[in-house]
Amino acid sequence: MRTNPLDRLSLRVKIVVWNTLLLFAFCFGLGIFFYKTLQHNLYVTLDRELASAASQLAATVDVQNGQPSLPEEPDLLPSNTVITIYDRAGKTVLATTQPGWAAIFKSTPPPIQQQSRFQTLRSNDGTLWRILYKPITDSGHVIGILQVARSESEIASTLAQLLNLMLLTIPVALVLATTGGFFLANRALKPVDEITRTAARISTNDLAIRLHVLRNDEIGRLATTFNSMLDRLQAAFQRQKQFTADASHELRTPLATLIATADIALESPRSVQGYKQVISSMRNDAQRMSALVNDLLTLARVDAGQEQLTLEKLDFSLLVQDTADSLRSLAVQKGIALLCDITPSLFISGDQLYLTRLVINIIDNAIKYTPPGGTVRVTVATIAKRLCLTVSDSGPGIAPEHLPHLFDRFYCADTARARAQGGAGLGLAICKWIVEAHHGDIAVSSQPGHGTTFTIRLPLGY
Protein backbone atom coordinates (compact mmCIF):
# COMPACT_ATOMS: atom_id res chain seq x y z
CA MET A 1 0.00 0.00 0.00
CA ARG A 2 1.46 3.35 -1.05
CA THR A 3 1.82 5.96 1.68
CA ASN A 4 2.21 9.70 1.63
CA PRO A 5 5.88 10.68 2.24
CA LEU A 6 4.66 13.38 4.63
CA ASP A 7 3.20 10.68 6.89
CA ARG A 8 6.73 9.77 8.01
CA LEU A 9 7.48 13.33 9.16
CA SER A 10 6.85 14.76 12.62
CA LEU A 11 3.94 17.13 13.17
CA ARG A 12 6.14 20.22 13.50
CA VAL A 13 7.96 19.37 10.25
CA LYS A 14 4.61 18.86 8.50
CA ILE A 15 3.42 22.25 9.75
CA VAL A 16 6.59 23.96 8.51
CA VAL A 17 6.52 22.13 5.16
CA TRP A 18 2.87 22.99 4.51
CA ASN A 19 3.42 26.57 5.64
CA THR A 20 6.42 26.93 3.32
CA LEU A 21 4.58 25.36 0.39
CA LEU A 22 1.58 27.61 0.88
CA LEU A 23 3.82 30.68 1.17
CA PHE A 24 5.69 29.67 -1.99
CA ALA A 25 2.43 29.19 -3.87
CA PHE A 26 1.17 32.55 -2.63
CA CYS A 27 4.40 34.38 -3.51
CA PHE A 28 4.59 32.65 -6.90
CA GLY A 29 1.01 33.55 -7.75
CA LEU A 30 1.42 37.09 -6.46
CA GLY A 31 4.65 37.47 -8.46
CA ILE A 32 2.95 36.32 -11.65
CA PHE A 33 0.08 38.71 -10.99
CA PHE A 34 2.43 41.68 -10.44
CA TYR A 35 4.54 40.72 -13.47
CA LYS A 36 1.56 40.43 -15.80
CA THR A 37 -0.06 43.58 -14.42
CA LEU A 38 3.11 45.63 -14.85
CA GLN A 39 3.68 44.19 -18.33
CA HIS A 40 0.15 45.10 -19.37
CA ASN A 41 0.41 48.62 -17.96
CA LEU A 42 3.78 49.23 -19.64
CA TYR A 43 2.42 48.15 -23.04
CA VAL A 44 -0.69 50.26 -22.55
CA THR A 45 1.51 53.27 -21.77
CA LEU A 46 3.76 52.57 -24.76
CA ASP A 47 0.81 52.20 -27.14
CA ARG A 48 -0.70 55.42 -25.80
CA GLU A 49 2.57 57.30 -26.40
CA LEU A 50 2.91 55.85 -29.93
CA ALA A 51 -0.68 56.82 -30.72
CA SER A 52 -0.07 60.35 -29.42
CA ALA A 53 3.12 60.72 -31.49
CA ALA A 54 1.36 59.34 -34.58
CA SER A 55 -1.53 61.78 -34.20
CA GLN A 56 0.84 64.75 -33.90
CA LEU A 57 2.83 63.63 -36.94
CA ALA A 58 -0.28 62.91 -39.02
CA ALA A 59 -1.42 66.48 -38.37
CA THR A 60 1.77 67.84 -39.97
CA VAL A 61 1.66 65.67 -43.11
CA ASP A 62 1.22 67.58 -46.39
CA VAL A 63 -0.40 66.13 -49.50
CA GLN A 64 1.00 67.09 -52.87
CA ASN A 65 -0.37 65.48 -55.98
CA GLY A 66 -1.94 62.73 -53.87
CA GLN A 67 1.39 61.90 -52.20
CA PRO A 68 2.04 62.35 -48.46
CA SER A 69 5.08 64.30 -47.32
CA LEU A 70 6.48 66.19 -44.35
CA PRO A 71 7.71 69.76 -44.63
CA GLU A 72 10.77 68.74 -42.61
CA GLU A 73 12.05 65.72 -40.71
CA PRO A 74 10.82 65.71 -37.11
CA ASP A 75 13.58 66.46 -34.65
CA LEU A 76 11.89 65.91 -31.26
CA LEU A 77 11.12 62.22 -31.47
CA PRO A 78 11.27 60.26 -28.17
CA SER A 79 14.30 58.07 -27.58
CA ASN A 80 14.34 54.74 -29.46
CA THR A 81 11.52 55.95 -31.72
CA VAL A 82 11.56 55.83 -35.52
CA ILE A 83 9.01 56.87 -38.12
CA THR A 84 8.42 55.83 -41.69
CA ILE A 85 5.91 57.18 -44.22
CA TYR A 86 4.79 55.05 -47.16
CA ASP A 87 2.76 56.24 -50.10
CA ARG A 88 -0.17 54.28 -51.45
CA ALA A 89 2.14 52.21 -53.67
CA GLY A 90 4.26 51.20 -50.67
CA LYS A 91 7.18 53.45 -51.60
CA THR A 92 9.09 54.95 -48.69
CA VAL A 93 8.54 58.71 -48.58
CA LEU A 94 10.35 59.43 -45.30
CA ALA A 95 12.31 57.28 -42.87
CA THR A 96 14.28 57.97 -39.69
CA THR A 97 16.76 55.40 -38.52
CA GLN A 98 17.76 53.87 -35.20
CA PRO A 99 20.26 51.09 -34.42
CA GLY A 100 18.62 47.69 -34.93
CA TRP A 101 15.85 49.13 -37.05
CA ALA A 102 17.42 48.51 -40.49
CA ALA A 103 16.16 44.96 -40.86
CA ILE A 104 12.59 46.00 -40.09
CA PHE A 105 12.89 49.11 -42.18
CA LYS A 106 13.88 47.03 -45.21
CA SER A 107 10.99 44.61 -44.72
CA THR A 108 7.94 44.56 -46.88
CA PRO A 109 5.81 47.68 -46.24
CA PRO A 110 2.45 47.15 -44.54
CA PRO A 111 -0.69 46.85 -46.64
CA ILE A 112 -2.94 49.85 -47.08
CA GLN A 113 -5.69 49.72 -44.43
CA GLN A 114 -8.46 51.88 -43.07
CA GLN A 115 -7.78 51.36 -39.33
CA SER A 116 -4.77 51.84 -37.11
CA ARG A 117 -3.18 48.72 -35.68
CA PHE A 118 -0.30 47.70 -33.42
CA GLN A 119 2.29 44.99 -34.06
CA THR A 120 5.44 43.71 -32.34
CA LEU A 121 8.40 42.63 -34.51
CA ARG A 122 11.86 41.32 -33.63
CA SER A 123 14.94 42.68 -35.43
CA ASN A 124 17.99 40.66 -36.47
CA ASP A 125 19.82 41.59 -33.25
CA GLY A 126 16.91 40.26 -31.19
CA THR A 127 15.47 43.64 -30.18
CA LEU A 128 11.69 43.84 -29.98
CA TRP A 129 9.96 46.83 -31.55
CA ARG A 130 6.43 48.01 -30.94
CA ILE A 131 4.96 49.40 -34.19
CA LEU A 132 1.83 51.47 -34.87
CA TYR A 133 0.49 51.62 -38.42
CA LYS A 134 -1.73 54.67 -38.93
CA PRO A 135 -3.42 55.38 -42.27
CA ILE A 136 -2.91 58.86 -43.87
CA THR A 137 -6.12 60.13 -45.51
CA ASP A 138 -7.04 62.91 -47.87
CA SER A 139 -10.67 63.71 -48.58
CA GLY A 140 -11.65 60.39 -47.02
CA HIS A 141 -9.22 58.36 -49.11
CA VAL A 142 -6.14 56.55 -47.78
CA ILE A 143 -3.08 57.90 -49.55
CA GLY A 144 -0.36 56.40 -47.38
CA ILE A 145 0.69 54.77 -44.13
CA LEU A 146 2.44 56.42 -41.19
CA GLN A 147 4.56 53.93 -39.26
CA VAL A 148 5.72 54.86 -35.75
CA ALA A 149 7.92 52.38 -33.89
CA ARG A 150 9.74 52.28 -30.55
CA SER A 151 12.10 49.74 -29.07
CA GLU A 152 10.70 47.64 -26.19
CA SER A 153 14.09 47.53 -24.50
CA GLU A 154 12.92 49.76 -21.64
CA ILE A 155 9.95 47.49 -21.00
CA ALA A 156 12.17 44.43 -21.14
CA SER A 157 14.64 46.07 -18.75
CA THR A 158 11.89 46.98 -16.26
CA LEU A 159 10.37 43.51 -16.38
CA ALA A 160 13.82 41.92 -16.01
CA GLN A 161 14.48 44.02 -12.90
CA LEU A 162 11.17 42.93 -11.42
CA LEU A 163 11.90 39.30 -12.24
CA ASN A 164 15.35 39.50 -10.66
CA LEU A 165 13.86 41.14 -7.60
CA MET A 166 11.31 38.32 -7.25
CA LEU A 167 13.97 35.66 -7.77
CA LEU A 168 15.92 37.24 -4.93
CA THR A 169 13.15 38.06 -2.46
CA ILE A 170 11.05 34.88 -2.77
CA PRO A 171 13.84 32.48 -1.69
CA VAL A 172 14.78 34.86 1.14
CA ALA A 173 11.14 34.98 2.22
CA LEU A 174 10.89 31.19 2.09
CA VAL A 175 14.05 30.80 4.21
CA LEU A 176 12.75 33.29 6.77
CA ALA A 177 9.32 31.61 6.74
CA THR A 178 10.88 28.18 7.28
CA THR A 179 13.02 29.43 10.15
CA GLY A 180 10.13 31.30 11.71
CA GLY A 181 7.86 28.32 11.11
CA PHE A 182 10.14 26.02 13.08
CA PHE A 183 10.34 28.57 15.88
CA LEU A 184 6.57 29.03 16.07
CA ALA A 185 5.88 25.30 15.68
CA ASN A 186 8.25 24.52 18.54
CA ARG A 187 6.54 27.09 20.77
CA ALA A 188 3.06 25.94 19.78
CA LEU A 189 3.80 22.24 20.19
CA LYS A 190 5.82 22.49 23.38
CA PRO A 191 2.67 21.89 25.52
CA VAL A 192 1.92 18.85 23.36
CA ASP A 193 5.36 17.45 24.18
CA GLU A 194 4.63 18.03 27.86
CA ILE A 195 1.29 16.23 27.50
CA THR A 196 3.08 13.33 25.80
CA ARG A 197 5.70 13.06 28.54
CA THR A 198 3.04 13.25 31.25
CA ALA A 199 0.87 10.64 29.54
CA ALA A 200 3.88 8.32 29.30
CA ARG A 201 4.25 8.44 33.09
CA ILE A 202 0.64 7.49 33.75
CA SER A 203 -0.06 3.87 34.60
CA THR A 204 -2.63 1.87 36.51
CA ASN A 205 -0.39 2.21 39.57
CA ASP A 206 -0.43 6.01 39.39
CA LEU A 207 -3.57 7.55 37.93
CA ALA A 208 -3.29 10.68 40.09
CA ILE A 209 -0.92 12.49 37.68
CA ARG A 210 -2.53 15.49 36.02
CA LEU A 211 -1.48 17.99 33.37
CA HIS A 212 -0.75 21.59 34.29
CA VAL A 213 -3.29 23.80 32.51
CA LEU A 214 -1.79 27.27 32.05
CA ARG A 215 -3.47 28.29 28.79
CA ASN A 216 -6.99 28.94 27.62
CA ASP A 217 -6.48 28.02 23.96
CA GLU A 218 -6.95 24.75 22.08
CA ILE A 219 -3.98 23.16 23.88
CA GLY A 220 -5.37 24.25 27.24
CA ARG A 221 -8.77 22.78 26.39
CA LEU A 222 -7.03 19.57 25.28
CA ALA A 223 -5.21 19.37 28.61
CA THR A 224 -8.43 20.03 30.51
CA THR A 225 -10.24 17.33 28.53
CA PHE A 226 -7.34 14.94 29.12
CA ASN A 227 -7.47 15.64 32.87
CA SER A 228 -11.22 15.06 32.89
CA MET A 229 -10.69 11.75 31.11
CA LEU A 230 -8.09 10.78 33.71
CA ASP A 231 -10.54 11.70 36.48
CA ARG A 232 -13.14 9.39 34.96
CA LEU A 233 -10.61 6.61 34.42
CA GLN A 234 -9.33 6.90 37.97
CA ALA A 235 -12.86 6.89 39.36
CA ALA A 236 -13.80 3.89 37.20
CA PHE A 237 -10.61 2.06 38.18
CA GLN A 238 -11.25 2.75 41.85
CA ARG A 239 -14.83 1.53 41.47
CA GLN A 240 -13.56 -1.58 39.74
CA LYS A 241 -11.06 -2.26 42.51
CA GLN A 242 -13.68 -1.62 45.17
CA PHE A 243 -16.18 -3.75 43.27
CA THR A 244 -13.70 -6.63 43.07
CA ALA A 245 -12.77 -6.34 46.74
CA ASP A 246 -16.41 -6.14 47.87
CA ALA A 247 -17.44 -9.03 45.63
CA SER A 248 -14.60 -11.13 47.00
CA HIS A 249 -15.60 -10.24 50.55
CA GLU A 250 -19.27 -11.03 49.92
CA LEU A 251 -18.44 -14.39 48.34
CA ARG A 252 -15.85 -15.30 50.95
CA THR A 253 -18.33 -15.33 53.84
CA PRO A 254 -20.87 -17.81 52.39
CA LEU A 255 -18.05 -19.92 50.96
CA ALA A 256 -16.37 -20.08 54.36
CA THR A 257 -19.70 -20.92 55.98
CA LEU A 258 -20.36 -23.59 53.35
CA ILE A 259 -16.94 -25.20 53.88
CA ALA A 260 -17.26 -25.00 57.66
CA THR A 261 -20.70 -26.60 57.57
CA ALA A 262 -19.40 -29.41 55.34
CA ASP A 263 -16.39 -29.97 57.62
CA ILE A 264 -18.61 -30.19 60.68
CA ALA A 265 -20.91 -32.67 58.92
CA LEU A 266 -17.92 -34.85 58.04
CA GLU A 267 -16.42 -34.89 61.51
CA SER A 268 -18.89 -37.38 62.94
CA PRO A 269 -21.81 -39.52 61.79
CA ARG A 270 -25.23 -37.88 62.01
CA SER A 271 -28.82 -38.91 61.77
CA VAL A 272 -30.82 -38.43 58.62
CA GLN A 273 -32.46 -35.37 60.17
CA GLY A 274 -29.05 -33.97 61.07
CA TYR A 275 -27.78 -34.39 57.54
CA LYS A 276 -30.95 -32.74 56.26
CA GLN A 277 -30.30 -29.74 58.47
CA VAL A 278 -26.68 -29.51 57.27
CA ILE A 279 -27.69 -29.82 53.63
CA SER A 280 -30.46 -27.25 54.15
CA SER A 281 -27.96 -24.81 55.64
CA MET A 282 -25.55 -25.44 52.79
CA ARG A 283 -28.35 -24.93 50.30
CA ASN A 284 -29.22 -21.56 51.85
CA ASP A 285 -25.59 -20.46 51.56
CA ALA A 286 -25.47 -21.67 47.95
CA GLN A 287 -28.68 -19.78 47.15
CA ARG A 288 -27.23 -16.64 48.67
CA MET A 289 -24.07 -17.02 46.55
CA SER A 290 -26.17 -17.72 43.46
CA ALA A 291 -28.20 -14.55 44.01
CA LEU A 292 -25.02 -12.57 44.63
CA VAL A 293 -23.37 -13.95 41.49
CA ASN A 294 -26.47 -13.12 39.43
CA ASP A 295 -26.44 -9.55 40.76
CA LEU A 296 -22.72 -9.25 40.05
CA LEU A 297 -23.24 -10.55 36.53
CA THR A 298 -26.05 -8.04 35.96
CA LEU A 299 -23.90 -5.12 37.13
CA ALA A 300 -20.92 -6.32 35.09
CA ARG A 301 -23.07 -6.47 31.97
CA VAL A 302 -24.44 -3.02 32.78
CA ASP A 303 -20.90 -1.60 33.09
CA ALA A 304 -19.94 -3.22 29.79
CA GLY A 305 -23.04 -1.83 28.06
CA GLN A 306 -24.24 -5.34 27.23
CA GLU A 307 -27.48 -5.24 29.19
CA GLN A 308 -30.27 -4.30 26.80
CA LEU A 309 -33.89 -3.49 27.55
CA THR A 310 -36.80 -5.07 25.69
CA LEU A 311 -39.34 -2.27 25.56
CA GLU A 312 -43.03 -2.94 25.19
CA LYS A 313 -46.33 -1.38 26.13
CA LEU A 314 -46.96 -2.18 29.80
CA ASP A 315 -49.82 -1.58 32.18
CA PHE A 316 -47.61 -0.46 35.05
CA SER A 317 -50.54 -0.28 37.44
CA LEU A 318 -51.36 -3.95 36.85
CA LEU A 319 -47.67 -4.93 37.12
CA VAL A 320 -47.36 -3.26 40.54
CA GLN A 321 -50.65 -4.75 41.75
CA ASP A 322 -49.66 -8.27 40.70
CA THR A 323 -46.24 -7.92 42.31
CA ALA A 324 -47.72 -6.63 45.57
CA ASP A 325 -50.20 -9.51 45.63
CA SER A 326 -47.38 -12.03 45.17
CA LEU A 327 -45.52 -10.54 48.15
CA ARG A 328 -48.57 -10.23 50.36
CA SER A 329 -48.05 -13.68 51.91
CA LEU A 330 -44.55 -12.63 52.99
CA ALA A 331 -46.01 -9.55 54.68
CA VAL A 332 -48.69 -11.65 56.38
CA GLN A 333 -46.04 -14.03 57.75
CA LYS A 334 -44.33 -11.09 59.47
CA GLY A 335 -47.58 -9.57 60.66
CA ILE A 336 -47.22 -6.53 58.38
CA ALA A 337 -50.10 -4.75 56.67
CA LEU A 338 -49.43 -4.30 52.92
CA LEU A 339 -51.72 -1.54 51.67
CA CYS A 340 -52.10 -0.56 48.02
CA ASP A 341 -53.48 2.62 46.48
CA ILE A 342 -52.98 2.13 42.74
CA THR A 343 -54.49 4.27 39.99
CA PRO A 344 -55.57 1.80 37.30
CA SER A 345 -54.51 1.69 33.64
CA LEU A 346 -51.32 3.73 33.70
CA PHE A 347 -49.25 2.65 30.71
CA ILE A 348 -45.55 3.09 30.02
CA SER A 349 -42.96 1.77 27.59
CA GLY A 350 -40.66 -0.54 29.50
CA ASP A 351 -39.02 -3.90 30.04
CA GLN A 352 -41.45 -6.09 31.97
CA LEU A 353 -38.76 -8.35 33.45
CA TYR A 354 -36.62 -5.55 34.83
CA LEU A 355 -39.54 -3.42 36.02
CA THR A 356 -40.94 -6.43 37.86
CA ARG A 357 -37.53 -6.94 39.48
CA LEU A 358 -37.49 -3.25 40.43
CA VAL A 359 -40.89 -3.38 42.13
CA ILE A 360 -40.07 -6.68 43.90
CA ASN A 361 -36.79 -5.28 45.29
CA ILE A 362 -38.37 -2.08 46.61
CA ILE A 363 -41.42 -3.74 48.21
CA ASP A 364 -39.38 -6.70 49.49
CA ASN A 365 -36.91 -4.31 51.19
CA ALA A 366 -39.76 -2.45 52.82
CA ILE A 367 -41.21 -5.71 54.19
CA LYS A 368 -37.80 -6.95 55.38
CA TYR A 369 -36.98 -3.83 57.38
CA THR A 370 -40.46 -3.22 58.80
CA PRO A 371 -41.02 -4.77 62.25
CA PRO A 372 -44.10 -6.94 62.97
CA GLY A 373 -47.26 -4.88 63.35
CA GLY A 374 -45.98 -2.26 60.93
CA THR A 375 -47.36 -1.05 57.63
CA VAL A 376 -46.05 -0.95 54.06
CA ARG A 377 -47.95 1.35 51.70
CA VAL A 378 -47.66 1.12 47.90
CA THR A 379 -49.00 4.01 45.81
CA VAL A 380 -49.11 4.47 42.03
CA ALA A 381 -50.35 7.78 40.61
CA THR A 382 -49.50 10.50 38.09
CA ILE A 383 -47.74 13.64 39.28
CA ALA A 384 -46.72 16.44 36.90
CA LYS A 385 -47.42 14.24 33.86
CA ARG A 386 -45.10 11.50 35.13
CA LEU A 387 -45.90 8.13 36.63
CA CYS A 388 -44.98 8.01 40.32
CA LEU A 389 -44.49 4.82 42.38
CA THR A 390 -44.15 5.39 46.12
CA VAL A 391 -43.32 2.64 48.65
CA SER A 392 -43.43 3.75 52.29
CA ASP A 393 -42.83 1.69 55.40
CA SER A 394 -43.11 2.26 59.14
CA GLY A 395 -39.72 0.76 59.89
CA PRO A 396 -36.85 2.19 61.95
CA GLY A 397 -35.76 4.57 59.17
CA ILE A 398 -32.28 5.39 57.92
CA ALA A 399 -29.80 7.85 59.42
CA PRO A 400 -29.17 10.98 57.28
CA GLU A 401 -25.48 10.20 56.78
CA HIS A 402 -26.39 6.93 55.04
CA LEU A 403 -28.91 8.35 52.54
CA PRO A 404 -26.40 9.75 49.96
CA HIS A 405 -24.71 6.32 49.69
CA LEU A 406 -27.79 4.12 49.74
CA PHE A 407 -27.61 3.34 46.00
CA ASP A 408 -23.85 2.64 46.02
CA ARG A 409 -22.81 -0.91 45.34
CA PHE A 410 -22.24 -3.11 48.40
CA TYR A 411 -23.31 -0.28 50.70
CA CYS A 412 -25.39 -1.32 53.69
CA ALA A 413 -26.64 1.20 56.21
CA ASP A 414 -26.96 -1.57 58.81
CA THR A 415 -24.38 -4.21 57.87
CA ALA A 416 -25.26 -6.74 60.53
CA ARG A 417 -28.95 -6.56 59.80
CA ALA A 418 -28.39 -6.69 56.05
CA ARG A 419 -26.31 -9.84 56.35
CA ALA A 420 -28.98 -11.40 58.56
CA GLN A 421 -31.54 -10.62 55.87
CA GLY A 422 -29.27 -12.13 53.21
CA GLY A 423 -28.56 -8.84 51.45
CA ALA A 424 -25.26 -7.81 49.88
CA GLY A 425 -25.96 -4.18 49.08
CA LEU A 426 -26.49 -4.66 45.32
CA GLY A 427 -30.27 -4.58 45.05
CA LEU A 428 -30.68 -0.80 45.22
CA ALA A 429 -27.77 -0.26 42.82
CA ILE A 430 -29.56 -2.48 40.30
CA CYS A 431 -32.84 -0.66 40.98
CA LYS A 432 -31.20 2.67 40.24
CA TRP A 433 -29.85 1.38 36.92
CA ILE A 434 -33.28 -0.02 35.93
CA VAL A 435 -34.96 3.33 36.67
CA GLU A 436 -32.34 5.38 34.82
CA ALA A 437 -32.41 2.98 31.87
CA HIS A 438 -36.14 3.80 31.61
CA HIS A 439 -35.31 7.55 31.69
CA GLY A 440 -36.68 7.94 35.19
CA ASP A 441 -35.30 8.83 38.61
CA ILE A 442 -35.39 7.27 42.06
CA ALA A 443 -35.15 9.02 45.42
CA VAL A 444 -35.31 8.06 49.07
CA SER A 445 -36.36 10.01 52.13
CA SER A 446 -36.21 8.82 55.71
CA GLN A 447 -36.16 9.89 59.32
CA PRO A 448 -34.93 7.59 62.07
CA GLY A 449 -37.93 6.18 63.89
CA HIS A 450 -40.42 7.37 61.27
CA GLY A 451 -39.92 4.94 58.41
CA THR A 452 -38.55 5.23 54.88
CA THR A 453 -40.10 6.24 51.55
CA PHE A 454 -38.80 5.31 48.11
CA THR A 455 -40.12 7.39 45.20
CA ILE A 456 -39.75 6.31 41.59
CA ARG A 457 -40.76 8.58 38.70
CA LEU A 458 -41.06 7.24 35.15
CA PRO A 459 -42.22 8.84 31.89
CA LEU A 460 -45.77 8.10 30.86
CA GLY A 461 -46.69 6.98 27.37
CA TYR A 462 -45.48 4.32 24.94
| C-beta of residue 395 within 8 angstroms of C-beta of residue 452 | yes
pLDDT score at 420: 44
Contacts of 110 (CB under 8 A, 6+ apart): 86, 133, 145, 147
Comparing CA positions, the residue from 213, 231, 238, 236 lying closest to residue 223 is 213
> What's the mean pLDDT in 139-163?
86
> What's the mean pLDDT in 424-443?
86
| C-beta of residue 455 within 8 angstroms of C-beta of residue 445 | yes
Domains along the chain with CATH numbers:
13-158 (3.30.450), 218-303 (1.10.287.130), 312-459 (3.30.565.10)
Grade residue 15 by pLDDT with cuts at 50, 70 and 90: confident
Grade residue 98 by pLDDT with cuts at 50, 70 and 90: low
pLDDT score at 140: 74
Average pLDDT of the residues of the chain: 81
> What's the mean pLDDT in 436-452?
90
Grade residue 13 by pLDDT with cuts at 50, 70 and 90: confident
pLDDT score at 415: 46
> What's the mean pLDDT in 142-149?
85
Long-range interactions of 133-137: CB distance < 8 A, separation 24+? 134/51, 134/54, 134/55, 134/58, 136/58, 136/61, 136/68, 136/85
pLDDT score at 19: 84
| C-beta of residue 119 within 8 angstroms of C-beta of residue 96 | no
pLDDT score at 2: 56
- Looking at residue 349, its amino acid is S
pLDDT score at 424: 55
More confident residue, 95 or 136: 136
pLDDT digits (tens, 9 = 90+) for 196-225: 777 777 776 677 777 776 667 777 777 788
> What's the mean pLDDT in 419-430?
65
Helix H or strand E segment including 329: helix 316-333
> What's the mean pLDDT in 56-74?
73
Has residue 108 got a pLDDT over 70?
Answer: no
The three-state secondary structure class of 149 is strand
pLDDT digits (tens, 9 = 90+) for 21-35: 888 899 899 999 999
Has residue 444 got a pLDDT over 90?
Answer: yes
pLDDT digits (tens, 9 = 90+) for 298-349: 777 777 676 778 889 999 999 999 999 999 999 999 999 999 999 999 999 9
Rounded-to-integer distance, Cα 276 and Cα 283, Å: 10
pLDDT digits (tens, 9 = 90+) for 161-187: 999 999 898 888 888 888 888 888 777
- Looking at residue 332, its amino acid is V
Q: Specify the range with the lowest mean pLDDT, choosing from 47-61, 348-362, 447-461.
A: 47-61
> What's the mean pLDDT in 112-137?
82
How buried is 202 (Cβ within 10 angstroms: 0-12 exposed, 13-18 middle, 19+ buried)? middle
pLDDT digits (tens, 9 = 90+) for 341-397: 999 999 999 999 889 989 999 999 899 889 999 999 999 999 988 999 999 999 888
Has residue 417 got a pLDDT over 60?
Answer: no
Grade residue 119 by pLDDT with cuts at 50, 70 and 90: confident
